[in-house]
A and B are shown apart, each in its own frame.
Chain A
Amino acid sequence: MTTVPTGRAAGDPAALAAAATDAVLADLGSGAHRGVVVDSPPGAGKSTLVVRAAGELAQAGERLMIVAQTNNQVDDLLVRLVQDHPALTVGRLSATGYRLPPALVGTSVLNAEKAEALDACAVVVATAAKWALVQDRRWPWAIVDEAYQMRSDALLLVARLFDRALFVGDPGQLDPFATVDTSRWHSLSYDPSQSAVVVLRRHNPDLPVHRLPVSWRLPASAAPLVSEAFYPFTPFRSGTGPGERLLHFGAAREHDAYDAAVDVAAKSGWGLLELPARFTAAADEEAVHAVATLAARLLARGGTTIGERTPDGVPLDASRIAIGVSHREQRARVESALRDLGAAEIVVDTANRLQGREFDVTVVLHPLSGRRDATEFHLETGRLCVLASRHRHACLVVARAGIPDLLDAHPTADPVHLGVPVSFPDGWEANQAVLAELARHRVALSG
């Protein structure tokens, strides 16, 4: 492989980011490569890159298809595309029953169920699943978004549609998963359960790989930790400096642990609300209640976020807060608790489904909280990475005490498969790094 140097994590972030983007576009334009891979840490301007690349390719007269993984991602990209390139003819290929969301109604986006209807469009956007059904069409260029979350079998179904492609994604998030045992395919270079990028690069080791060096989402308080814990060999920095992202709250009224945690997070960007050590079943009602209460308190405290794009401040309403959990059952229980607290508008979701999303403040139920034994699922690096990197201002973690002991007692017996690249860091080390940081922002909640 050739890794294109994108500079150290220093210097003017905007210049760094621009240089990286220019290098990507230069590689695309050179025509020397069938594919270009861009690794993007959380919030590093992946969509901006995709939209810019789409614009440049269209300008060069190349027809372009864009592959995203979910309908939401498709719609988000379309909104950005028509904003930045209002003159572009953009098509949206969609399944029966899909209706354009309000943000796209009245724009130039053409919606159709059949690819034939969009032949005149310079850019056509659809989910991988929808692209898989398209026959007898071919595009000179494709952009594959969230390519690390795409399974290689999904890429196999759409790769026949394009000659060259730009693959963009975040290698640190959750790997795609399968519902059956996939070990029998692991030693195959085209393992269908692996991520699209891993398989692509195993077969095309000479493709250029770029990295976006600046996270515009994560604040200065979070970027160093997330970079060190989850991207140890590919560091990045935050686009904003210390003090450029501010979070203000009205005065505390309850003066309890929740208020204290909110205040700690407002000041430092991190908060750990720690419940007494206890082993619990999957549904830890106390922790669920704490998570919901903390989120509701954030809302009740009437916060304001101030950032580089919003110097006058924006009220921290429910749409800017999210709660991250690990299991569906936890999500259901937290939602139910939020309904009781009158804060049902706050988004609650599992790490898998929060991938690619962004909020001002997040409240996270730690995957290992209350667990008697760690499992591969709960230790998975990508899970914690997703949960700890969704926020623009602050992240508050709710956990029971004792997780370091749990990690210490965790047996390491991961099976090894030939030909499977080792992923870094392992869950143990990433968890320790995050816990060490959180310990500095700890507020105890007595039971």
Chain B
Amino acid sequence: MRTTGTTGAIAGRLEQLRGTLPTRNHNARTVAALAANPGCARRGVLDAAGIEKTVLADRLGFPARYGGRSPFAIGRGNVFEARVKADGGTELRRLLAETLGANPDAGALVDVEHESAGRPSREERVARTRDALARAARGEPDACAILDHPLLPLDVAGRRAYLEPDAMACRVAGRLYVVEIKSFAIIDGSADPGKLASATRQAAVYVHALRRLAAELGLDPDVVATDIVLVCAQDFSNRPVAVVLDVRRELATTRRRLERLSGVEELLGELPDTLTFDVDGDLAGEAVARVPAAYVPDCLSACELALFCRDEARGCGPGGGSVGTLGTSVRGALGGIEDIGDALALADGTRAARPGEEDVARLLRRAQALRTEVLGAEMPGSQAPGIALPRPVGPPAASRAELSGGVG
């Protein structure tokens, strides 16, 4: 545990970095995403400061392409979720009983957000969540069985974040289960492993936050189960089906990542005291560049800033940018060589190996010799064999489709 003084100082630094940039509340998705590239200091600092990275990406001139959701997907998701929760959770109770082998405890479905008229404040929702949780854990007779839209406080990098689960806490046989409703399909007993993984990671964050909250309330954290219930659509229908997932591994990862994130102090120590990201145009680029990034292609599907970082990584160094832009497997084959031009110079024998590079240099020279033996000399800018075909000439694309379309 850090002392309040240190935390206060860090909070001040982070506030300065953020300036007037809009903040983003952490949700389970952002916390779960911390696991995506934990070695990236830039992401660590921006996340700790709670900066809305989409806005920053716009300012940097590299608007994020990632993160948009189709209106069709959103619509389907909402309809599906409403259906599962309808009638005080009748369908949900049936699913829980079926998958967990025990009936959910008696009690109402309490919606923390929509219980009263008007949208309650954050503090109100947290208080209601705590209250409902405490009563449920004590097994009070009128305690709720299903808690919808809870708001869970969680300390992320020394800052209190509020998690808004798109999940529920359900009480079954005296234990609380996190229930996530996702509208993707389980077809013949299997589902997209990537979607399952991200649902599992998010659920683990909720489990973590709930267990923390339970501990704060003086309860045994084990009252929150490490098995979660995932509700999905069955096959090609709208009918819900539930499965139990063991999230203990993901829970351990979440705990590790959050612990590591509290190490943001060290990252800040490397930065100039006056640094802020709340500046325009080129200055923003310069400011962000002060915090080193660890760009890898996987960032493209995980981080709003990825296009900026990719451009930076491609443009850095003397010859063609960082080898990391080509993927981790390419990077792994090159030992510690960082720069594309540098690696090629070793392969071509135009640069001598520095101490520690001898193995890689030898490997690259042999590899180049074999490539040359098979392909002939590769001149810079040379094209692959078989590419020099004439480009086709034809009518404009759209018109051709119209011509032959309209069957039936």
Interface residues in chain A, defined as those with a beta carbon under 8 Å from any beta carbon in chain B? 183-184, 186-188, 278-286, 370-373, 375, 408-419, 421-422, 424, 426, 428-429, 447
Contact = CB atoms under 8 A, between A and B. Distances in A.
Given A408-B39, A409-B38, A412-B253, A183 B193 contact: yes
Contacts of B252: 426, 429
Given A418-B196, A426-B249, A429-B252, A411 B38 contact: yes
Contact of A281 (B37, B199, B359): B359
Contacts of A373: 328, 331-332
Given A187-B190, A422-B248, 10 more contacts: A187-B188, A188-B189, A282-B333, A285-B358, A285-B359, A373-B328, A411-B35, A415-B197, A418-B186, A422-B246
Nearest to B358: A285
Interface residues of B, number: 40
30 contacts: A184-B190, A278-B336, A278-B356, A279-B336, A280-B335, A281-B332, A281-B363, A286-B359, A373-B331, A373-B332, A409-B37, A409-B294, A410-B39, A411-B36, A411-B37, A411-B298, A412-B250, A413-B36, A413-B298, A415-B197, A416-B193, A416-B200, A418-B191, A419-B190, A421-B246, A422-B249, A424-B249, A426-B252, A426-B253, A428-B256
B334 interface: yes
A415 B38 contact: no
B35 A408 contact: no
A416 B336 contact: no
* 8 residue pairs, one from A and one from B, having the closest CB atoms: A409-B39, A415-B193, A279-B336, A187-B190, A416-B196, A373-B328, A416-B197, A412-B35
Contacts of B260: 408
Interface string B237-262: 00000010110111011001000100
A424 B249 CA distance: 8
Contact of B328 (A281, A282, A372, A417): A372
Nearest to B260: A408
A369 B333 CA distance: 14
Nearest to A429: B252
A432 B38 CA distance: 16
Main secondary structure on chain B at its contact with chain A? helix
Interface string B196-208: 1101100000000
B193 A417 contact: yes
A231 B252 CA distance: 16
B244 to A, nearest CB: 10
B37 to A, nearest CB: 6
B398 to A, nearest CB: 38
B194 interface: yes
Nearest to B187: A187
Contact of A410 (B38, B250, B360): B38
Nearest to B38: A409
Q: Most A CB atoms within 10 A — which of B38, B245, B260? A: B38
A187 B192 CA distance: 11
Nearest to B195: A416
Nearest to A287: B359
B37 A414 contact: no
B114 to A, nearest CB: 32
Q: Most A CB atoms within 10 A — which of B37, B186, B256, B332? A: B332
Contacts of B200: 416
A206 B298 CA distance: 43
A418 B360 contact: no
A422 B252 CA distance: 13
A413 B331 contact: no
Nearest to B196: A416
A419 B244 CA distance: 9
Contact of B189 (A187, A408, A415, A428): A187
Interface string B218-251: 0000000000000000000000000101101110
Contacts of B199: 416
Contact of A186 (B38, B190, B197): B190
Contacts of B360: 280-281
Given A372-B328, A429-B252, A408 B38 contact: yes
